[in-house]
Amino acid sequence: MQAACLLHYFGVVNFGRLITPERIRFLQGETKEEALDELIGIVSSEPGAPNAQLIRELVRSREEQVSTALGGGVALPHARVPDLEETLAAVGISRGGIRYDENRVHVVVLVLWAGTPNLAILSDLGRLLRRPDLFEEIVAAPDERALHRLFTDPPARIEREPETIRRAHTTVRRAFELARDLEADALLVFPDAMRSLAFAQPDLFEGREKHPSSILLVTSEPRHYQDDEETFDRVVDIPVRGATDGGLAATALLFVMSRGHIPRSGQVVSVFGRPDSGVLDTIRFTDLDREFADYFHRDAGSIHSDTEEAVFARVVQIALDLAREGREGKPAGTLFVVGDYETVSSYCQQLLINPFRGYSADQRNILDPGLEETVKEFSRIDGAFVITGTGTIVSGGTYLRTGDSVSKLPGGLGARHTAAAGITAVTRSIAVAISESTKRVSIFHRGTRLMVL
């Protein structure tokens, strides 16, 4: 089981050296510039760190490219600093909030990379900090030591009403019995709707010795469950937040299969609840052969794409956010084409000036949380985003001219979905399309719509 703390996501072992109470500060200033100066003052005083002026120039140069405010009251300014001996970080908290470009920000985490920035780690950190319950605890913390505990120790588990716990226990128990009776290959429990395992009483999986299939706890918030490994055969950390309603549970299944935790054929039973509902109330039986056969290249034994898992997860998450939130109060529809760029590029034609042209690859990576708002803003223009399998955004506003007819599309789908099916039919890419009218997200691969979220 991974270490259950925020700083696990920085990929370091010695958390105390990265973030200590001395590297946490309640911000005195009220502007972005003042906040950055306070945090730069902290890290520049560390042994082996460059002078404050050099750090300031590098951080501000990064901010000029695109704001690192993520929305939700969080900003993650960062920069790569030449000759830095080790990665450094400092945390600033403002209860009243500071002006950070067009945003009001309460939590600022400054990260100075000693080597190549790990944008996947930064993306995970941003996702974690924007979770409402944790964000509220951080902003309300009384002092630096309390904040340090929040960054290094899991917060107290949420307590649920006895009736809610009883119902969750009954639902999971019934799911276990269904998996046993159907001889399913695995039982997957998604507890994030509750963020508690109070329902996991001793009799929950009574008789499991007669049921050889795996029982997995699947979560995007592993820190809540670090003490509960013995209840399950494995705790699987997935990169898709809120993966507890039907569509997202299907996406989570895909990740679990891609990691080899369950077979790519057979049957599984899943139990979950709606995001933030506080209950587990849904049981689903899934025939993996029927629902996921087209996604996997069985001869190769791996996903039939060069797209990294974290990149795919990030694209899906941004698409789901756009589908739910729209843009400036209006429904949003767009298309992401990810992976196999060498082949995809031969089918691309730019409709307008490419907004990502001229930036280095690390400045336009979809995993950089600072780019999220930029991507969402550009989603309003016609055309597709084209992204490499490692996450580099090559272009936006791109026309896809495959010239091939698509015969497997369900009726009622328009040009965007036709383009998604067409480009994936002639390449090894994955396409993620958002319907402006239905606010649903469709995932295409090999010319077929695999799932709708």
Six token digits for residue 102: 């067009």
Q: Where are the alpha helices (DSSP H) in 153-192?
A: 162-181
With H, G, I as helix, E, B as strand and everything else as coil, classify residue 236: strand
SS3 348: strand
Q: Which segments of 273-374 are extended strands (E)?
A: 282-287, 296-297, 302-303, 335-338, 348-350
CATH 3.40.1380.20 spans which residues of the chain?
162-297
Transcribe 362-429 into DSSP letters: GGSBTT-GGGHHHHHHHTTSSSEEEE-TTSBEEEEEEEE-------SPPTT--HHHHHHHHHHHHSS-
Cα angle 306, 343, 320; round to 5 = 55
Backbone angles phi, psi at 311, to 5 degrees: -65, -45
Helices (H) and strands (E) in the chain, counts: 13, 20
Does 162-297 carry CATH code 3.40.1380.20? yes
pLDDT score for 18? 66
Q: What is the biggest distance separating any 2 CA atoms in the chain, rounded to whole angstroms? A: 67
pLDDT at 226: 63
All CATH 3.40.1700.10 domain ranges of the chain, comma separated, are 305-452
As given in the structure block, the two tokens for residue 266 are: 């057979």
Cα–Cα dist 322/420, whole Å? 17
Q: What is residue 244's predicted lDDT score, i.e. its pLDDT?
A: 53
Q: What CATH class has 6-152?
A: alpha beta
Give tens-digit pLDDT for 236-272: 887 666 555 666 677 778 778 767 788 877 899 999 8
Residue spans in the chain of domains classed CATH 3.40.930.10: 6-152
- CA dist list (Å): 19 to 46, 84, 129, 136, 222: 12, 17, 15, 20, 20
Two tokens, residue 306: 């060069």
Span of 71-80, 237-246, 286-295 with lowest mean pLDDT: 237-246
Q: DSSP letter at 355? A: T
What pLDDT does 67 receive? 83
**What's the whole-number average pLDDT of the chain?**
80
Closest alpha carbon to 368 in 7, 80, 93, 6: 80
Amino acid 79: pLDDT: 87
Cα separation values, 90 from 31, 77, 130, 149, 395, Å: 17, 10, 17, 15, 33
For residue 2, the SS3 value is: coil
Taking only the tens place, the pLDDT of each residue in 298-326 is 333 344 678 887 788 788 888 888 887 77
Q: What is the pLDDT of residue 298?
A: 38
- Residue 26 has φ and ψ, to the nearest 5°, of -80, 115
Q: How confident is the model at residue 372 (pLDDT cuts 50, 70, 90)?
A: confident
> 63-77, 141-155, 393-407: which has the minimum mean pLDDT?
141-155
pLDDT value, residue 62: 86
Q: What is the 3-state secondary structure (H, E, C) of 96-115?
A: EEEEECCEEEEEEEEEEECC
pLDDT band at 177; cut points 50, 70, 90: very high
- Cβ within 8 Å of residue 161, ≥6 positions away: none
* Confidence band of 88 (pLDDT split at 50, 70, 90): confident
Higher pLDDT pick, 204 / 220: 204
Strand ranges (DSSP E) for 181-287?
186-189, 214-219, 234-237, 267-272, 282-287
In tens, the pLDDT along 199-210 reads 888 888 888 777
In CATH terms, the fold of domain 305-452 is: YojJ-like (1 (3.40.1700)
Please give the Cα distance from 94 to 77 (Å, whole number): 15
pLDDT at 1: 28
pLDDT single digits (tens) 125-168: 777 777 776 788 888 888 888 888 777 664 544 556 788 889 99
